[in-house]
Structure 1
């Protein structure tokens, strides 16, 4: 389908060209000579903006259209990146970083709402899977080339990142029609609907916890591996293995999992992520961490296949963007809090307690996701009775 190929192209382009956020801390400490703490606060500003952006992107997608929201996000991101590159005072850097966060994630819930507008449950799951695959392919390109490009100066990374955003905007402008349902029902009542939907709130909370757990792969795990005498190259190979497995296995996983009960898939996947990190208690070599990564990567793939489609099922037609915005905001909150909470637990209690806590979190998340199926069925039955 043309619209999905265009959307997948956008995901690939913005991830492949997403150099600035990937190398932001290095840029601020090495090129701008800011302290690590100050650089971290700037990165936090981007993260705060991104959470707001995810909520706003879903709401705007329902209000002004998916296509227009993505155009605003991509074109605005290009300008915000150039503003960040030229900012020469700390307040200006903070403001520009916040703008990058506020604009850079508008496309994600709006694009997912475009997929949600498609007819056919299996087609939607396959399309969400393609977007996840394209994003991971783009991220692999970004990490593989960014380290080489940075030797020509960080300014080049900003220009290339801005160019990627412009290219994505052109793809949307030329190739993507508007898919928003014409019926205006519910667009003005998103907040009451969200607060009154216990199924949505339960899923948002459990996924925020899940993504906080998964964030240990990029925060606590490298610290534990370094403390165990394993170098950054070994950690890089573990992350590389994660990326390769996703690129190879995920298209096949979509075909296998699309016809299964999604809450069963989500429950098993959350458990696999918890077990994978819990194996950190028993491993101390690159091979051991690589095998553990295979387990949590299998769980990551299962979650990715079903994540957006699950929230899509809960949403009224006029609120698909808003519901998906809540879903991705849960992802943003989890990824923001995960490193802080994980490293704090690691510092105070040590790696064994951290990995056991991860295993417990995976078990609890798995149980809640299985229980959420009953909530959804009860909600559907209630809707049928009310009809």
Structure 2
């Protein structure tokens, strides 16, 4: 027990105070992440949209996210990560307050598009900020800490969202807007004059591609494409999985929120430990490949007969997949980029995941509506196997500036 505690605490050593503050801000922001997990249920139950119409609107979130990821990366390289993060947080809040008034298919689609365009510009700026304040040897840990905060917030947000939805869906949107404002105030107050980690000359020379555009970096483009395939599968968590819980298992909004909260709690409690052990025992390629395969396994489990325990087992495996794959994907991006194009590389990394926000709900809802959830889950499993093979082939062609390849 003492040895386990020592390993667990050792996973947190070396992280800077700004890294912890970024995590706290992310926690506050994500504690209000109530809207997206319930958006599909809100549209089908409250607004009486069809499942396919709901999928179209969810894809509009992805379209906006693609634009926000690219634009956010471009703006970050020109104006700095501080201004872009602060602007995104403060301008996202009023959009949440407006959304409950949009009840037609067209107006809600545009509103969701605009919301994601503004909110997702935060992601590349935030990733650059994490790399800016972290020491090179702790970059993966810093990303993991930030994601741990996201998932702690996500464990609270859906549970609170499930309760609020049982009272009024409008409260979901208002709660999300308020937490954006709180996160923005704290971020602006703490980071407005904060200096980051200064790179030494020998660290800078390790950055092998200081001037190359990520859009001309063919190995990294292939890597980003594989990240998109992974994210298409993983994001069924936010799109079709709540609909599956509702339509197949007949769970209430509160029960759905509890399962999603459980997933956030698992990632919060285990991410730093798993990442710490994985860094020591496995290569970057091995961690990403194994995490990708676990994603498919988690969804394929849903095709077997079982009670609600099966849903918890499936989402637990999905959590381990997330822990192992996503932080190390970010590490590949950081180590592949140079000082002056980190925003562009982070933007492309965010773009890979944002593209999945377009494709994932559309494909997921289309397959579920026309062929059934069983075909969707088997297809997701096959896709992750193909994606894992792709990662094996491509990562060895990407030169990383650290020794853990």
Query: TM-score interval w.r.t. the shorter chain?
Result: 0.7 to 0.9
The correspondence for 1:337, drawn from 334, 349, 359, is: 359
Q: CA RMSD in A?
A: 3.4
Q: How many residues align?
A: 373
Q: Which runs of 5+ in 1 are unaligned?
A: 183-189, 381-387
Do 2:128 and 2:343's aligned partners in 1 also have CA atoms closer than 8 Å? yes
Q: Is the 8 A contact 2:40 2:239 kept in 1?
A: no
Q: Which residue of 1 aligns with 2:228?
A: 208
CA contact under 8 A between 1:270 and 1:362: conserved in structure 2? Answer: yes
Cα distance, 1:110 vs structure 2:
0.5
Instruction: Between 69-78 and 220-229, report the one with greater CA deviation.
Output: 220-229
Which moved further from structure 2: 317-326 or 342-351?
342-351
Deviations 1:201-242 (A, max 9, x none): 111111111111112334444555666556457765654443
**Inter-CA distance 219–105: structure 2 relative to 1 (3 Å threshold):** closer
Q: Distance in 2 between matches of 1:224 and 1:84?
A: 25
The farther-off stretch of 117-126 and 318-327 is 117-126
In structure 2, the residue matched to 1:242 is 263
1:266: Cα distance to partner?
A: 0.3
CA contact (8 A) 1:65 1:178 kept: no
Instruction: Give ranges in structure 2 of 5+ residues lacking alignment.
Output: 1-15, 200-209
The aligned counterpart of 2:322 is 300
Distance 1:92 1:225, change over 3 A: closer
Q: Aligned pair 1:320/2:348, yes or no?
A: no
Mapping 1:66-77, distance limit 5 Å: 66-77=81-92
* 1:370 matches 2:392: yes
TM-score (norm 1): 0.83
Displacement of 1:133 in angstroms is: 0.9
Q: Deviations over 1:120-146 (max 9, x none)?
A: 443111110011111111122111222
Counterpart of 1:376 in 2: which secondary structure? coil
Query: Residues 213 and 150 of structure 1: is their aligned pair in 2 closer, same or farther, counting only changes over 3 Å?
Result: closer
Deviation at 1:328?
1.4
- Structure 1 pair 180–340 and aligned structure 2 pair: CA distance change class (3 A): farther
Superposed, 1:167-206 pairs within 5 Å as 167-176=182-191, 177=194, 179=196, 193-206=213-226
Tell me the equivalent position of 1:160. 175
- Asked if the contact 1:122/1:258 (under 8 Å) is kept, the reply is no
Structure 1 equivalent of residue 275 of structure 2: 254
For 1:321-354, what per-residue CA distance to the aligned partner results, in whole angstroms no more than 9, with x for missing partners?
Answer: 1111111121122133123223333444445543
Change (3 A) 1:271 1:43: closer
Given that residues 158 and 258 in structure 2 are in contact (C-alpha distance below 8 angstroms), is that contact kept between their aligned partners in structure 1?
Answer: no
Alignment partners' CA distance in 2, 1:108 and 1:311: 13
Distance change >3 Å, CA 97–CA 354, structure 1 → 2: closer
Establish whether residue 107 from structure 1 lines up as the match of residue 122 from structure 2. Answer: yes
Deviations 1:165-189 (A, max 9, x none): 222222222212365989xxxxxxx
CA distance in 1, matches of 2:249, 2:94: 43
CA 1:102–1:237 in 2, change beyond 3 Å: closer, same or farther? closer
Distance 2:186 2:249 in 1: 46
Q: Tell me how far apart the structure 1 counterparts of residues 165 and 240 of structure 2 sit (CA, whole Å).
A: 26
TM-score of the two chains, using structure 2 as the length reference: 0.79
C-alpha separation in 2, matches of 1:328 and 1:207: 10
Aligned-partner SS, 1:18? coil
